[in-house]
Amino acid sequence: MASYLVTGGAGFIGSNIVERLVKEGRRVKVVDNLSTGKIENINEFMDDIEFIKGDLADFTVAKRVVDKVDYIIHQAAIPSVPFSIENPIKANESMVTATVNLFKAAVESGCIKRIVQAASAAVYGNNPILPKHEDMLPEPVSPYAAAKLMQEYYAKAFYSSYGIEIISLRYFNVFGPKQDPKSPYSGVVSIFLSKMLKEERPIIFGDGLTSRDFVFVEDIVNANLQALSCQWTGNSEVINIGRGESISLNELVILLNEILEINLEPLYDAERIGDIKHSVADISKAKKILGFKPSESLKYGLKKLVEWYKMDSKKQG
């Protein structure tokens, strides 16, 4: 039976991937330093996985975790633009250094069949062309975006130099269960929803016209598993993963009000440095290479997230 390593497997996206793999009966190893991940996210699977607490910025950890692994799903990172602006060195360690260590350890193991890694739509920057397509020249405007772009370049370099298959999935704005709204690294959907469930007004940075392509975490999980099994194209591909449609933050608040059957007006604050104004994915490449198909609607994912929050709050008492 094939063995899978999920880096950052106690984090938001990583833990959702772990859950799917375990439910499908796969052999799973998880590494996480728990700087942003939470052990609670994978507690129910601990008897079914091998968990290693460690930081991939340490090469000895990277060497240890790739042992007896066939496939790697690389999610480990500190996924925050504001954090990267305040701490560019630490952000670089968590993404670039950790990734190079992981790739080198994978090459040395000689057993890794393929790596799929989390990239980011942040690399497109403020290029006004919409939708964003993979052939566009990257224009990173934050250290986070620059580090994510370096992960892609290292993927291409390692395939060219060592022949190891690596696919980079450029995530757009991911939301879903296990995304901690209290975390400073959390996404806008979970932050808005957690406030609105308590009948508190959500805070929008800027005028609310900023638009995003919000993609449900189930779609991200599907894309990762499809990328592991798709036919290799002969290139270390970079592939957008989103819904292929955008919505403004003002419209998002209206939609959440509708789902929750309330009527809360947002509060507005100054725009944040490094935030991108508009973003929407061209997902034609994902459809062609992966067979990717996003969930039926944004509302579907938001409703599922509301259900999860309500269930989780009951568990918390």
Q: List active site positions.
A: 144
CA 149 to chain centre: 14
Question: 89 burial class (0-12, 13-18, 19+ CB within 10 angstroms)?
Answer: exposed
Separation in Å, CA 7 to CA 54, 55, 75, 82, 102: 10, 10, 5, 22, 9
Residue type, 301: G
CA gap 55, 95 in Å, rounded:
11
Buried b (16+ CB within 10 A) or exposed e, 255-292: ebbeeeeeebebeeeeeeebebebbbbbbebbeebbeb
